[in-house]
Amino acid sequence: MKCVQRQPKLSRSEELLCYARSQKVIQVNTKLLGMEGDPDLKFLLQGGELLKVRSTSWKKPRYLRLLEDCKTMWRESQKTFKTNETFSLEDIAEVRRGRQSEGLKKYTEEQAEGCCFSIMFKGRRKNLDFIANSEEEAKQWVNSLEKLISNINNLNSQQKTEHWIFTCLMKADKNKDDKLTQSEVKDFFRLINIDIDDNYAEMLFKECDKSKSGYLDGKEIEHFYELLTHREEINVIYGTYAKTAGFMSPENLVEFLMTEQRELATLADAHRIIDKYEPDENVKEKKLLSKDGFVMYLHQPEALVLNPEHKDVYQDMSQPLSHYFISSSHNTYLMEDQLKGPSSTEAYVRALMKGCRCVELDCWDGSDDEPVIYHGYTLTSKILFKDVIRAIKEYAFKTSDYPVILSLENHCSVAQQEVMAQHMSSILGSALITSPLGDSMPTNLPSPEELKGKILIKGKRLNKLEASFASEEKEGEDGIKKKNKLKLAKALSDMVVYCKSVHFRSFEDAKNNQSFYEISSFKEGDAIKLAEESANAYIRYNVDKLSRIYPAGSRTDSSNYNPVPLWNTGCQIVALNFQTACTDMDVNQGRFLVNGKSGYVLKPAYMRDSATEFDPITLTRGDWLKHKLLHVMVISAQQLPKVNQKKSSIVDPLVKVQVFGVPADAAEKETHPIENNGFNPGWNENFQFDVYVPDLALVRFVVEDYDFMSENEFIGQYTLPFNSLKMGYRHVPLLSRNGDLLPSAGLFLHIMVLDAE
């Protein structure tokens, strides 16, 4: 970095040394990425000037380029007092070409369409909007960034580790002489999240300093890297099964897969693994698997803790909608709290890209006869209804092909309801369901399969004999009861086909008077009370009718509630604030991690039977009771991120294993903390859990930074359904608080599931 940013003038020899070193760094990183000589990478390394857009009047030049680590972008301000900023390519969610962000649509003219592009970030970081000098240049930026991001994402765990460690080594080498002094080695350890005492650092340094020169270079740094990445726990496992001249033969590998991993493996499977993952061609020729190949295999998706057969759609998708849990969002338009936070179409994009299949639209009269969406009677910002519908149209089916439900909270006048209907009809077109499927009158809800690529409207609907308006007392989702003269536009009413909103009175009343296409919404307090006091009746009700649950109006901070008790009673549309990162959202993400991230998960058979006796609280005997013992050995973790980016800040990690499900299954156990080691902490601690209803259970692995003075700080987590666990030695990827993958970070566990009886 020092070589290319504007610094005090260097001598010619210093400039040449600086340039040579920067080229060496680039060469190593491009080789790791498999992009030697790539023109797109060369373009990004050279960079260029772009116009950054913040408002109609604020458009200023910014120089943007890729740093030598090939994963960090740097931009320079053109202010009098120069400032610069960096961001990691791993933090980018999407690069969009054209005027495809709220800012560019609002602050640029249509004729600039081809020259515009946006960098959209994960989490709450503000997007960057740019205008390039030409359409060709904008296309080059988008294509080059997408290509490099794809290459980085496609690196295996071992390659990501090499990339990261090499980058940290370069940072630790303060005088840029390609040598590491003992002091620089200590700094390097802090960069990779380890704090070691001086005696151990000196011992390690001396072990690597074979030349006795007082510094490490060349082969000595390679030896240092090997010591650093040595994993004794893997060596022990490999050594147990490497019975063929120190290597694993196909027969040895089959023995490992069947004995430890509990997989029905064949010699053909073993040959495929060796052909695919063995890095040494000489070893591969002999049909053997080296330790490096074994480590590489253990980091592959097929060998991780999540059953790879559950990553794609594997469930029956031809049953009625009411037979599925449906990923659902509340106040989808909000980016933050519901009192003064911003509303944004990006919030819809993020929810849909996470597989959400039911989004909420709070609709109010806007100026110029254009309906708006915001949290009424608050200071939250307003966005146009039509812009939201356009965003939904574009992103509804990028993550999942299965149907999206638009839950309308309608506060508009009849005139603007007509506008709403017109926008939905013209923008959504044939994707919008406006009449029942098939030629005959339906008797139950259609299936996700039948509704692929379709959008349904949930809202009020006029009966044939009703007048054009109805008077009713309604409790809004803000908790305020209002006497409304509800005037409903026929055009909007006619768009409500399978999700007609009705008030819930009782289970007995619903049994006699509520049709399958009528849906009731329950605020969380009412729903939890029903789940606790009438669980079986609630489950039976939810067999052929949809229930939508929403957070209490008192949650002005957009906090969430625990969705598990509602899933336990068969509620399908358990709506959460997707904009709020928390344990409840982690559990929600875990529930919908499987089945192709389709946003639909089939309920167990005993929750799809209207005569079921299942009660998650009393747990009387039945098909649901399948008592299992879950054994978890927490072995180690790798490359945990810092929670505080100060160089001197090192984490003290501990691991919690949590089980969510019916009350009898809820449990949590934790390891002891490891002091000052976020790079390769080891625990080797064993836990056992009783799981009585595995169909409804979820397992969450969470890593925290221990603090005896205050609350532990979150580092990363991973949640998945109990029935999707793979047994044996498994790596567990870790997700950030926002639900994004933490590069290189992970846990290493041994998992066993046994029948208790």
Binding residues, as ranges, are 52-79, 331, 360, 362, 409, 458, 460, 521, 548, 650, 652, 676, 705-707
* Dist CA 289 CA 198 (whole Å): 38
* Dist CA 729 CA 234 (whole Å): 10
Two tokens, residue 646: 């100060």
Report the DSSP beta bridge partners of residue 361. 408
Report the DSSP beta bridge partners of residue 732. 747
Query: Torsion angle of alpha carbons 158, 163, 166, 171, nearest 10°?
Result: -140
The torsion region of residue 37 among left (phi > 0), alpha (psi -120 to 50) and beta comes to left
425-428 long-range contacts, CB within 8 A, separation 24+: 425/491, 425/495, 427/386, 427/389, 427/390, 427/393, 428/389, 428/392, 428/393, 428/455
Q: What is the DSSP letter of 671?
A: P
* Dist CA 374 CA 360 (whole Å): 11
Q: What is the DSSP letter of 618?
A: T
Task: Based on the residue annotation, tell me whether 271 is a catalytic residue of this protein.
Answer: no
Q: What is the DSSP letter of 681?
A: -
Q: Give the Å distances, CA to CA, from 253 to 383, 397, 592, 699, 718.
A: 58, 41, 33, 28, 28
Q: How far is CA 22 from the centre of its chain?
A: 34
Query: Torsion angle of alpha carbons 616, 617, 619, 620, nearest 10°?
Result: -110
* Dist CA 125 CA 691 (whole Å): 40
Q: Give the Å distances, CA to CA, from 718 to 568, 583, 585, 656.
A: 21, 11, 11, 11
Cite the DSSP H helix spans in 619-669.
none
Q: Give the Å distances, CA to CA, from 488 to 386, 420, 440, 466, 482.
A: 19, 12, 27, 11, 16
**C-beta of residue 208 within 8 angstroms of C-beta of residue 216:** yes
* Dist CA 534 CA 557 (whole Å): 30
* Dist CA 230 CA 417 (whole Å): 65
Task: Based on the residue annotation, tell me whether 423 is a catalytic residue of this protein.
Answer: no
Question: What's the sign of the alpha-carbon dihedral 347, 94, 303, 292?
Answer: negative
> Which residue ranges make up the annotated binding site for Ca(2+)?
331, 360, 362, 409, 650, 652, 676, 705-707
> Which residue ranges make up the annotated binding site for substrate?
52-79, 458, 460, 521, 548
Q: Give the Å distances, CA to CA, from 207 to 189, 509, 601.
A: 16, 79, 54
* Dist CA 754 CA 692 (whole Å): 12
The torsion region of residue 321 among left (phi > 0), alpha (psi -120 to 50) and beta comes to alpha
CA atoms within 13 A on the CB side of 704: 19
Q: Give the Å distances, CA to CA, from 93 to 43, 90, 207, 223, 706.
A: 21, 8, 43, 36, 30
> Residue 611: exposed, middle, or buried by beta-carbon count in 10 A (0-12, 13-18, 19+)?
exposed
Two tokens, residue 487: 């005037």
Residues in the chain: 757
* Dist CA 140 CA 153 (whole Å): 20
Q: Give the Å distances, CA to CA, from 284 to 244, 248, 271.
A: 14, 11, 10
**C-beta of residue 193 within 8 angstroms of C-beta of residue 651:** yes
Query: Torsion angle of alpha carbons 704, 710, 711, 712, nearest 10°?
Result: 0
Identify the active-site residue in 163, 310, 323, 330: 330
Identify the active-site residue in 163, 323, 375, 750: 375
Catalytic positions: 330, 375
